[in-house]
Structure 1
């Protein structure tokens, strides 16, 4: 556990989880959109719109978590050099 904390792996795990969820949401949204087009079911586009909104939020969360991880890394480097 200490080895992982020393190399800051735990700071990147939430970002990776958010990015994997983003990828899954984009894939499923695309499948719902294609199914709606093929089957001609207009109500499936509501799911597509909701999926796009969730994907946008997850992508923004992923970028925010990436920024936090880099800030923590920079803080740890500055503490080591002191």
Structure 2
């Protein structure tokens, strides 16, 4: 596809393509995967991971937003005088 100067109608695909390219970053939002504790069905051992370690494991906690099954850190903002 080339977007050289031409009549309005043939330029429409170029304009739509440019619009999609400019708006795509606003529509796509990426975030890190949450962490979970997983419990072994064999011996009850717990492991912290973002995805299941495999068959024989069940999810044993709700999602943690911090890395490594740690709660998100609280940030205190102290106003300066």
- State the TM-score, normalized to the length of structure 2: 0.34
Q: More strand per residue: 1 or 2?
A: 2
- State the TM-score, normalized to the length of structure 1: 0.34
**Larger-gyration structure (1/2):** 2
Q: More helix per residue: 1 or 2?
A: 1
